[in-house]
Structure 1
Amino acid sequence: MTLTSTPSPAVKEPAAHGRKTGRAEFLVGIGGQNISLIGALVLVLALFGILNDNYLSLSNMQVIAEAATITGLLAVVQTVVIICGGLDISVGSQVGVASVVSAMAFTSAGSNALVGMAASLGVGLLVGLLNGLVIVYGRVNPTIATLAGLAAYKGLAQLLSDGRAQGYVLNNDAFIFLGRGKIAGLPVMVWLLVIVAVSVHLLLKYTDIGRNVYAIGGNDTAARLAGISINKYLVAVYALIGVAAAVAGILLTARTGSGQPTSGSEGLELKAITAAALGGCALKGGKGGIGGTLLAVALLGCLENGLTVEGINSFWQNVAQGALLVVAVVIQQRRSGARAVGLPH
């Protein structure tokens, strides 16, 4: 007896399976969180594009990009802080201090932009280090420590400026270039955000420093046993966000033409944290990425601009941001399987 076999339709299944696997791998690479953000962004753009013919114009997209730059800078570095298991809710006030110092130092030095920017960066570094030292060596909860900083740095900015805008920097080419210049058709501010975001992404993804940051946020006990100097890393990430706030303060000064103690900086901490959380950062630490954060920044920027263009009360922007933050945290809790408060496991 001879045995013969006939081709079966099942032979083609591996190819189909391979195509499905390829699509699945592609979707996993993008990330479910990012896919949701892309969908929400497209929906917002389509909605406001229908409501207003000029919303999707190139000039308005540029306005959105410029307005989102300062939030983006803070959100990118806030992402690092959150991944490391920390949180900084004082960044808005830090931006106000940095903005005032940059303008006042610029004026005092005879319209020397380098002196103004250097002074601002120095103050940002010192403020960030102070936050880190209080949290690490004072053993103060990051939320409490930076909440105190939120009030203290806001008061400092108002004391230094007497509560008023300081100086005038738009008679200087360097500040004009930062605030209004373009390179290859894109605002300098946007290029700066791109450079910072790419640098931080590469740091987190491809270096030992980045891996250690994730390890500390994921399990600080295991990280300590592995020989990672947790205290040094925590102080360093708070110093880093202090420098980022200083850069944001300089850009705020360049955009507005003067040092702003509160205008333009109030609420930035909420925007930065909301963007990081929407972008997939676990507020408990150990998880997150720069790509998701940037998508969330774009979503918030487009939403804010759309509400403004439609003449909707600006107070609704705060309502929307707060609601988005709650939604992001609820989704995180659901995905992590955390039990509801007051209910058994």
Structure 2
Amino acid sequence: MAVQNQMEAGAAPVKAKRRVPPELNILSILIGVALVFEILGWIFQGQSFLGNPQRLTIMILQVSVIGIIAVGVTQVIITGGIDLSSGSVVAATAMIAMSFAQSSSYARAVYPSLTDLPVILPLLVGLGIGLLAGMINGSLIAYTGIPPFIATLGMMVTARGVAKWYTKGQPISFPTESFAKIGSGIWPVVIFLVVALIFHVALRYTRYGKYTYAIGANPQAARVSGIDVGKHLVKVYAIAGTLAGLAGLVTAARAQTAQAGMGMMYELDAIAATVIGGTSLTGGQGRITGTVIGTVILGTMTSGFTFLRIDAYYQEIVKGLIIVAAVVVDVQRQKKRSKKS
């Protein structure tokens, strides 16, 4: 009405302010963190943090697995849920898939007829395990009323137990060459970026994405509008589980071994990357692009602390403080929006 009255009076219409994409704010944080480590590097180490391509390459490779998990966790958090089982699913997937990807070359002296299984088999087994874990999580949350925290906490303990039970805690090594290639070179980075691109498009431009945001914003309104909330939640958690399974495959292939302790704390790193990337823990808001930047921020911090030779336990303390700070910022942002509305 105000704009209409101004136009009728001959005044120029008021232009709406353009909103700055949230990714730009997150990107500025990444640049700031990198510059801080660059300055500290020259002060305390006498060398450049950003000027070492090998260090940056290792950093990107290290965060790729967390990034794959974080893409799934982002979708879960957008629905207003949480997934604490990702790291344990990584371990269970790595252990079981590696047993199907193990090379038989060292045993052929005793069993000459042994042959390696085709690489597609361990891949399908790993993804299937992740899918099953995610579907169980989603079904418990959607159809029993169990809070996501409790349901995924139970899966976290169960999957870790499966990883230990499967080989009585013994590591599995000697994968086939074709399986090991999945984690070699830049393939982990390529897999991460492809996964991020697929689900960026899915969330922004498909019905799946619209339903995901609608459930996170107001599940009751989504249900009234005709969305099968339970079915969609199962789908979201199934995708998150499958991506955790994929991360387990990449982890095992890159390390060329599988151990029951793999993936420890990966779920918290993925949640941290997601929250730093601007996804709201209250649900209904978040973007994959922000999560990608948040993952790189987390990797930059870890690499920077290592570069400055800061002890690992200090890194965990700082990481925890950053998660809390990100949540506080999100809460304050939500309060401002509620006042405006």
TM-score range, shorter chain: 0.7 to 0.9
Q: Following TM superposition, by how much is the alpha carbon of 1:193 offset from its aligned partner in structure 2, in angstroms?
A: 0.8
Q: Following TM superposition, by how much is the alpha carbon of 1:287 offset from its aligned partner in structure 2, in angstroms?
A: 0.5
Which segments of 5 or more consecutive residues in structure 2 lack a partner in the other structure?
1-11, 105-114, 337-341
**Residues matched between the structures, number:** 310
- Distance change (3 Å), C-alpha of 1:106 and 1:177: closer
Q: Which residue of 1 aligns with 2:307?
A: 309
- Distance change (3 Å), C-alpha of 1:83 and 1:139: same
Q: Contact 1:48–1:306 at 8 Å: present in 2 too?
A: no
Residue 70 (structure 1) aligned with residue 32 (structure 2): no
Match among 87, 103, 116 for residue 111 of structure 1: 116
Residue 177 (structure 1) aligned with residue 184 (structure 2): no
Q: Which residue of 1 aligns with 2:280?
A: 282
Percentage of pairs with the same residue: 32
TM-score norm. by structure 1 comes to: 0.84
CA–CA separation in structure 2 for the residues paired with 1:84 and 1:333 = 17
Structure 1 residue identity aligned to 2:49: Y
SS in structure 2 of the partner of residue 337 of structure 1: helix
Q: Which residue of 2 aligns with 1:257?
A: 256
Q: Which residue of 2 aligns with 1:5?
A: none
Q: Following TM superposition, by how much is the alpha carbon of 1:74 offset from its aligned partner in structure 2, in angstroms?
A: 0.7
CA–CA separation in structure 2 for the residues paired with 1:321 and 1:43 = 18
Q: Contact 2:41–2:308 at 8 Å: present in 1 too?
A: no
Q: Contact 1:41–1:298 at 8 Å: present in 2 too?
A: no
Residue 165 (structure 1) aligned with residue 171 (structure 2): yes
- Distance change (3 Å), C-alpha of 1:40 and 1:244: same
CA–CA separation in structure 2 for the residues paired with 1:313 and 1:162 = 32
Q: Which residue of 1 aligns with 2:88?
A: 93
Structure 2 residue identity aligned to 1:180: S
User: Which string of whole-angstrom CA distances, capped at 9 and with x for unpartnered residues, describes residues 310-337 of structure 1?
Assistant: 3221122221221111001111111111
Q: Contact 1:37–1:295 at 8 Å: present in 2 too?
A: no
Q: Which residue of 1 aligns with 2:226?
A: 227
Root-mean-square deviation (CA), in Å? Answer: 2.2
CA–CA separation in structure 2 for the residues paired with 1:302 and 1:31 = 17
Q: Which residue of 2 aligns with 1:300?
A: 298
Q: Following TM superposition, by how much is the alpha carbon of 1:260 offset from its aligned partner in structure 2, in angstroms?
A: 2.2
Superposition pairs of residues 185-264 of structure 1, within 5 angstroms: 187-263=186-262
- Distance change (3 Å), C-alpha of 1:156 and 1:219: same
Q: Which residue of 2 aligns with 1:34?
A: 26
Superposition pairs of residues 43-54 of structure 1, within 5 angstroms: 43-47=35-39, 49-50=41-42, 51-52=44-45, 53=47
- Distance change (3 Å), C-alpha of 1:164 and 1:321: farther
Which segments of 5 or more consecutive residues in structure 1 lack a partner in the other structure?
1-13, 182-186, 339-345
